[in-house]
Amino acid sequence: MNRKLIVFLPLILILAVCALLLIGLQQDPKKIASALIGKPVPEFRQGNLLAPQQMLNNTDLPKRPFLLNVWGSWCYYCKVEHPFLMELAAQDIPIVGLNYRDKAQNAVEFLDKLGNPFALVIEDGKGTLAMHLGVDGAPETYLVDRHGVIRYRHSGALDKNEWQKVLLPEFNKLNATK
């Protein structure tokens, strides 16, 4: 009996791993929660993309609810979501940009060409702050409250549908609380 079990053990282990992989593939990557939900934006000291001589830190973040958008000029989906970010900025929605693993010159040219929806742009060429945020890739958007606490994470290009269904109601709740 033990000999039969030993013979089939590798097969059982392979089937178990395949089952776990199959379950994982059924998950929507946009629904992956961040470990930082309910925690403050990690402490940082990074350059200001648009004023390279200036350093930014947590005290520079807006003192009202805002979006923290992780983007890069190299990122196709960042280009797709950019017009919508411009719409949000025109509606007085504060957006902080985190320029992720990008060359500063390319990022500045991107904003010059397509417009700048950001209240401020944190330069993160090495991905240090993004790593502390747990960024999987660009674009990602975090909803942050007036105290700098992360309340929601959206992975992928932000669009009107996701904004109206999920982020806007949460954003409005944060603005309603004093």
What's the pTM value of the predicted model, to 2 decimals? 0.82
Per-residue pLDDT at 69 exceeds 80? yes
One-letter amino acid at 47 equals: G
Spatial neighbors of 54 by CB under 8 A, at least 6 apart, are 47, 48
What integer is the mean pLDDT of 73-84? 97
Surface-to-core class of residue 132, CB atoms within 10 Å of its CB (0-12 exposed, 13-18 middle, 19+ buried):
middle
CA distance 68 to 41: 10
The overall average pLDDT reported for the chain is 89
- At 9-44, the pLDDT tens digits run 666 667 666 566 666 555 444 444 567 899 999 999
Is the per-residue pLDDT at 120 higher than 80? Answer: yes
pLDDT digit string (tens) for 124-173? 999 999 999 999 999 999 999 999 999 999 999 999 999 999 999 999 99
Alpha-carbon radius of gyration of the chain: 20
Q: What is the pLDDT of residue 127?
A: 95
| pLDDT of amino acid 177 | 78
Residues 6 or more apart from 70 whose CB is under 8 A from it?
98, 100, 130, 133, 135, 138, 139, 140, 141, 142
DSSP secondary structure code for residue 149 in this structure: B
pLDDT at 15: 66
**What is residue 29's predicted lDDT score, i.e. its pLDDT?**
45
170, two tokens:
């949460």
